Amino acid sequence: MKAVINVNSRTYAIHIDQPIDISIPLRAANDNVNAWYIEAPKIEPANVDGMTISVEEGASVNFNNISFNPHGHGTHTECVGHITEKPYSINKCLKQFFFVAEVITVAPEKLGDDFVISAKQLRFAIGNKKREAIIIRTMPNTKEKLTQQYSNTNPPYLLEEAAIYLKNKGVKHLLIDLPSVDKEKDDGELLAHHAFWNTSGKIRTDATITEFIFVPNKVEDGKYILNLQIAPFENDASPSKPILYKLYD
């Protein structure tokens, strides 16, 4: 099914009946994807006046409490409030939801004991394309990313120069299939976060970082329309559901 959408005063025809979901579902399970040294998420019936509110337990409805951390338990989108003393809400910072995006595939390079993504790699993958959103799929790209337990594994990350390159190129929305754009243990420097949001200058409050995505191998590198969906939480980050749409030729 063909649909026409206007994004930043340009018209695009997309395959609206072929959405590509690149989020990771949040499940109450020990093999739910996890990072940052926290327990698995919980989804369990509320207890009111000693009664478990579950149809299985005799109630008329299911009425679950959900306990999770958006940064550690799955696909999430964050704003600069993640790293600033002044509070910023993703619900207020993200005001538009459709963007022209480029999917790129990168094999992180060895640097000392780490694997990193450099500015040179991004320049090669993006070239002279101008995109509002860049979606980074890292190699190897296996289904283990859906259940990976990342704590104390030193996952790959972006070098500060790579984040600066994306900022200077005008990329507003960075999506990546890792738990963070920064090194797991970096003494709190968060160089890529700070560089991308330009916290040493005019802060880019309209820029976002989405982590813990999963881009299936069948999805080709190239240009897409991105629908970046979030839950309306007044928080620095929210669980999110980024959806890609192919463009008609």
Q: State phi, psi for 138 to the nearest 5 degrees.
A: -100, 150
Q: What is the pLDDT of residue 1?
A: 86
User: Contact at 8 Å (CB) between 114 and 156?
Assistant: yes
Tokens matching residue 126: 């993006």
State if pTM tops 0.95: yes
| Cα(204)–Cα(173) distance, integer angstroms | 11
- Find where tokens 């709190």 sit: 188
User: Contact at 8 Å (CB) between 104 and 115?
Assistant: no
Average pLDDT over residues 85-92: 98
Q: What is the pLDDT of residue 213?
A: 98
pLDDT greater than 90 at residue 157: yes
pLDDT in tens, 56-75: 999 999 999 999 999 999 99
C-alpha closest to that of 21 among 224, 232, 231, 207: 224
In this structure, what is the dihedral angle of CA atoms 25, 29, 32, 36, given to the nearest 10 degrees? 130
- Quote the DSSP letter at residue 24: -
Q: What is the pLDDT of residue 224?
A: 98
**Burial readout 21-47 (b: 16 or more C-beta within 10 A, e: otherwise):** ebbbebbeeeebbbbeeeebbeeebee
Q: What is the pLDDT of residue 177?
A: 98
Residues paired with residue 14 on neighbouring β-strands, in sequence order: 3, 247
| Cα(224)–Cα(99) distance, integer angstroms | 8
- Ordered domains of the chain (ranges, CATH): 2-25+70-245 (3.50.30.50)
Average pLDDT over residues 137-160: 98
**Which of the four pLDDT bands, split at 50, 70 and 90, describes residue 15?**
very high
pLDDT greater than 90 at residue 53: yes
| Cα(97)–Cα(193) distance, integer angstroms | 21
- Quote the DSSP letter at residue 246: P
Kindly state the helix (H) or strand (E) to which residue 239 belongs, with its residue range. strand 237-245
Q: What is the pLDDT of residue 179?
A: 98
Q: What is the pLDDT of residue 218?
A: 97
Average pLDDT over residues 211-237: 98
pLDDT in tens, 78-87: 999 999 999 9
Average pLDDT over residues 5-27: 95
Q: What is the pLDDT of residue 249?
A: 75
- Find where tokens 């949040």 sit: 26
